[in-house]
Structure 1
């Protein structure tokens, strides 16, 4: 077999992901967010008052990664962590006013990313549907 790294789908996905996350860094720095904090906030802007375990499942992050991230967001005044009164093992994450306001300010992020990666909207939409299919197929396969 004649191996070529740049012909491997897995490498292209990996390298593209790293490059996009680098682009996000420049966009998110003024908001005081890392990429992982940003996607966590997106999950909360989509649905406030979630269990830590639910967030971890949605974001595909283990508790060792998610817990320090949530502590930092809490320290920054963007979320609160509240233990369930009946079951102390359950911890809910709630947006603060500052966290909600950040959601309004961050509405510019997706458009800025498209400008950084220099992809037109139609191609971005095609790529989205392809990757969404790959992601959904993975989740379906993970259940069986």
Structure 2
């Protein structure tokens, strides 16, 4: 090979791409039971942490693209999981608020993180913590 720096096995980005795809696939079965896609699950986790937040706050928490978020919120509204309403103090802002069904879904989702964690038996808890730290550094550097 003329340019060894272009060898696929030397690329961090490709490993991240493969890992991302694998992780999303790992979630698929558990999330199908909840009738959620992975991005919808991310939105729900953000809202379970803090309900009644602005769309801007939700975008910041989840790092989901604004256009994609619009579609996600519409589909989740159609499923009666949440509502997008005008902010009472600033009518220009929109606030996302969980419906009862969305709140109840949290109990069904409670065991998903452990189910997924069990899919990585060769990674210790210390290594998982280290991986989170490294990925946070990577995301900070790239943003």
Q: If the TM-score is normalised by the length of the shorter chain, which range does it land in? A: 0.7 to 0.9
The answer to whether the Cα contact below 8 Å between 1:114 and 1:120 also exists between their aligned partners in 2 is: no
Once residues 137 and 96 of structure 1 are traced to their aligned partners in structure 2, the CA distance between those partners, rounded to angstroms, is 37
Which of residues 55, 58, 61 is equivalent to 1:55? 58
CA-based RMSD of the aligned residues comes to 1.7
Within 5 A, what are the aligned runs for 1:1-144?
A: 1-2=3-4, 3-85=6-88, 87-118=90-121, 119-139=123-143
Once residues 65 and 31 of structure 2 are traced to their aligned partners in structure 1, the CA distance between those partners, rounded to angstroms, is 23
The answer to whether the Cα contact below 8 Å between 1:23 and 1:117 also exists between their aligned partners in 2 is: no
Q: TM-score, normalised by structure 1?
A: 0.86
| Total equivalences in the alignment | 139
The CA deviation at 1:86 is 5.5
The CA deviation at 1:115 is 1.6
Q: TM-score, normalised by structure 2?
A: 0.87
Could you tell which deviates more after superposition, 65-74 or 1-10? 1-10
2:40 partner SS: helix
Once residues 10 and 63 of structure 1 are traced to their aligned partners in structure 2, the CA distance between those partners, rounded to angstroms, is 24
2:96 partner SS: strand
Higher percent of residues as helix: 1
Could you tell which deviates more after superposition, 55-64 or 5-14? 55-64
Gaps of 5+ in 2: none
